[in-house]
Amino acid sequence: MTALAGTYAGNLITIGSIANLIVIEQAKTCGIRIGFCEHARAGIPGPLFTLLVLLAWTALFA
């Protein structure tokens, strides 16, 4: 469960993972701006979907 929480944090917000910050800084050097909204648009649906799958799996098999 802790591993899932760490992964969700990395995907949900820009400062959730150092890799996010590195990519955002590298993109900035190429003239590409990745803000919170742009990141959230791509980063929020994935964790929400996997959380729903996890909850369904837990309900079925726990």
pLDDT digits (tens, 9 = 90+) for 10-62: 777 888 788 889 999 999 999 999 998 988 888 888 888 888 888 898 899 97
Q: Which residue, 59, 58, 60, is CA-closest to 1? A: 58
**Res 17: pLDDT:** 83
For tokens 């990395």, what's the residue? Answer: 10
**Res 34: pLDDT:** 92
**Res 3: pLDDT:** 66
Range of the domain at 32: 2-61
Number of domains observed in the structure of the chain = 1
The pLDDT-based confidence of 1 (bands split at 50, 70, 90) is low
- Measured in degrees and rounded to the nearest 5, phi and psi for residue 44 equal -80, -40
